[in-house]
Amino acid sequence: MLEIVELIRPADQGRTTPFLCNASDGHAYYVKGYGASVAGLMKEWLGANLALTFGLPVPPFEIAFLDNRLADGYDSEAASELKGGYVFAFASKQIQSITELKFAKVQKINAQLKLSILIFDF
């Protein structure tokens, strides 16, 4: 079981206010919580599993456990976005070398991968 042991800070990007967190396995994860809604978190889980099955490069992800006391003890922003339990903690492993994809870099992506992403997204 992956457990969130430390809330580091809100992520720099993300409409659903993910938080960068440390987990019990010694790795950092971006954790989405209440701001994504229960339906949104289920879609994240399904979408990530489908992308993985489809062969798309996705960071490792897990449903993690987050203790309410950890979120409540961070600050009001975390407490309003993250709720304890399993359902409200979808965690994607932080990959250090990965950054936001800029349009100028799209040309460098393999044509087959671009096609696969297009079909998956459709």
CATH of the domain at 48: 3.30.200
**Residue range 4-54, pLDDT digits in tens:** 999 888 887 767 778 889 999 999 998 887 777 778 888 888 999 999 998
CA-based nearest residue to 64, from 81, 88, 45, 37: 88
Which residue range is the domain that position 61 belongs to? 4-96
Residue 115 placed within a domain? no
Give the burial string for 87-106 (b: 16+ CB within 10 Å, else e).
ebbbbbbbeeeeeeeeeeee
Total domains in the fold of the chain: 1
Question: For residues 21 and 28, is the Cβ–Cβ distance under 8 A?
Answer: yes
Whether this prediction's pTM lies above 0.95 is answered by no
Percent above pLDDT 70 for the chain:
84
